[in-house]
A and B are shown apart, each in its own frame.
Chain A
Amino acid sequence: MSLLDQPSSPSLSGGGMTRRQAWGLVGLLAAAVIAWLVFAVWPDWLNAILISKKAFVSAILNGITLAGLYFLVASGFTLIFGLMRNVNLAHGSLYLLGAYIGYEVTSRTGYWLLGVAAGFAVLAIVGVVMQVFVFRRLEGDDLRQTLVSIGISIVAADLMLAVWAGGTYQIATPEWLDGALTLPVITAVRSNGASVFLTYPLYRVVVLAAAIVIGVGLWLMLHRTRVGMMIRAGVDDRAMLQASGVNVHAVFAIVFAVGAGLAGFAGVVGGSALSVAPGEDVRYLLASLVVVIVGGMGSITGAAIGALLIGLAEQIGLVYFPTYGIVLTFVIMVVTLAVRPQGIMGKAR
């Protein structure tokens, strides 16, 4: 089969357009269609199919901002699970604990930013403690890591239920993050000729911006700094790294701290955008698992792509086929696993 294939591939590239160029053209076309969908005033037939332009554009924007939140949670997960191969199914509990701590600090001090910082700092410490006292003893033993971390998550969920009860908490965002942005997107034209512009909550845009900044920062840390180099080296061959005089345990503790801290940070940010309640831990654990599996384990870019796919699928599903919306997420996961088991950006090992 492969022998037969070989002669045809040069002829394909010789046909005026390479595969890369073809994909580029498709991408350009898609971008043009999306730009038209967003900026043009829709004809009636399109409104009829997609409910309304406001609904469609909002769903896309919400999908992207939700992806920002998912990315914040999943980036910590991808560091710990994907990069260090340390199965930590208590990641969702870290998210929820961070949210509760953020709520307590914010409501007591009145400073939201302080709550965000506390969420990150406290959970980073919790992460180090978990790494040193639990996971260090279980290095390389996936099954025990899985069982122990599930145990931790169950105990943590009940402890949090005991402390914060079953109520729904809303972390209050500061005044300067409240309100809505008016976007230069016309959703409809009134009969008197005035255009109706789309408004969008400012806070969600900030969440997205934070996710992008953190994503770029993480990527730079992993690929451009000495610490990042050590982490990558430690994952590939820890014995050799240790032999060259690096304290591997310290490096892994740092990664765990950053990963857990990001979960706590995401908890505060997510708890302000949506809300905090028991059960969130499982929800975000599942979301991060799907994001990391789809995106590819250990890849920051992959986590971003995975989060974007899942966020968009969830929101579009919610608006256009709510009953079966949840299926869409898992269809994406199944297709990825079937076609590209290592994930979209994952390295085959």
Chain B
Amino acid sequence: MRMHRRTLLALAVFTGLTAPSMALAADDTIKIGLLATFEGPFTVLGEDGERGAMTAVAEMNGTVAGKKIEIVKGSSDASPDSAVRAARKLVEQDGVKVLVGPLSGDEGLAVKDYAKTQPNVTFINGTSAAQDTTLRDPAENFFRFSTDGAQWMAGLGTYAFKDKGYKKVATVAEDYSFPYTQVFGFMAEFCKAGGHVPSKSWVPIGNKDFSSVIAAIPEDVDAIYVALGGADAVNFLTQYQQGGGSAPLIGGSITVDQTVLTSKGKLRDVLKGTPSAGPTADTNDAPAWKAFVEAYKKQPGAFPSPSLFAHGYYVDMKATLLGLDQVGGDVSDGGKKLRDALSKLSFDTPTGKVSLDKNRNAIADIFLTEVTEGADGNLMNKLVKVVPQVNQTLGIPEDEFMKLGAVNRDNPSCP
């Protein structure tokens, strides 16, 4: 308490001294933009992302380098143009010099392009996980401390082929860059192990009625790989259950995320036992993870366990604050010092060590999981295996990896 009072006093004196010389906004606060999907089909995901970011802010008691953190929120609806509009508003109207976000794949690609036009602003990713946000044609001032969608799939393809014995798998995924990246990550291993993917269904984002898509899936596949998020995943799984679907499922990272597992309805039955992989595992026993879960649960409306959006936004916000702390909260040089600090940053997160590669993309641990019912009746992702320190090229030498080509609907292919 005394400490707190002293800080307050120091702050008061500090502002008293600087206030007369400062014509502009008070210098004792630092504005950070927070861009996430607070509207549209990914609303629930964006809300959890915010909880993650606020957990990181709360950990620093709302201050960094003696300055008060002021979070300015920007909302998008998961479409790239809405993300750029929100980013423009934050940068050009609210005047933020540091921006954390956006949440989804295509948004990330669009914000990266916008970042190139604002070299004095530092952009740190939220959870957007398209490969080419950092791999091809990256922006100098865009950092991703959360990993990409292909990295999240590390270990899953091999596990499905060898341990589960699936030889033929059909895929159902949304039609944009993030699911392309996830399918790529899964197939890279699965096809290499000897598996086949005879049919790939790409559905528009926000699609409601999946029964025709389900009917078009070949009947002779061993399993269905599903990379859908939020409401789309809930709809697909419910209709799959209603239609009496019997093939086992393999989940993309956000398909078996807490945002879907906590949904009300009958889809729980089809989800149990679904293997998946991603940057988090709910039953992770590491003390750092448990401490993070406890801190996260203090946020209003929190899930039983943080979703990967809460985790991603936490990691990126934490990195931002650590970087700001190192430079004493000083971004008056157009953020140059901050970006230098961020590029060299390596720190321990609740899910292990994170560092950046030369494209400013994270190298981090990935968790192979399986959906189980917890003791309290909540569905959980049980930790099966940790794949340590996965880099963006999935351990393949970079020139060889680049030859695989950019991810899209038809690449990769192994029918």
Contact = CB atoms under 8 A, between A and B. Distances in A.
B413 interface: no
Contact of A180 (B46, B215, B243): B243
Interface string A32-60: 00000000000000000001101100110
Contacts of B213: 318-319, 322
Contact of B263 (A66, A168, A274, A315): A168
A323 interface: yes
A199 interface: yes
Nearest to B233: A168
Interface of A: 51-52, 54-55, 58-59, 62-63, 66, 107, 161, 165-170, 172, 178, 180, 199, 201, 203-204, 274-275, 277-279, 283, 314-316, 318-319, 322-323, 325-326
Given A62-B209, A161-B39, A166-B46, 15 more contacts: A55-B216, A58-B216, A62-B211, A165-B43, A167-B44, A167-B262, A168-B230, A168-B234, A170-B234, A274-B239, A278-B41, A279-B39, A316-B212, A318-B212, A322-B175
Contacts of B242: 178, 180, 201, 203
Contacts, number: 118
B208 A274 contact: yes
Contacts of A178: 242
Contact of B204 (A63, A199, A326): A326
Nearest to B202: A322
Can you list the 6 inter-chain pairs with the closest CB atoms, starting with the nearest? Answer: A166-B43, A58-B215, A170-B265, A55-B216, A166-B44, A277-B231
Nearest to A277: B231
Interface string B272-299: 0000000000000000000000000000
Interface string B199-213: 001111011110111
B215 A55 contact: yes
B301 interface: yes
Given A275-B231, A275-B235, A51 B216 contact: yes
Interface residues of B, number: 42
Contacts of B38: 166
B263 A62 contact: no
B47 interface: yes
Nearest to A54: B215
A318 B203 contact: yes
A199 B244 contact: yes
A161 to B, nearest CB: 7
Contacts of B5: none
Contacts of A318: 203-204, 207, 209, 212-213
A201 B231 CA distance: 21
B266 interface: yes
Central interface residue in B46, B175, B239, B409, by most chain A CB within 10 Å = B239
Contacts of A52: 216, 218
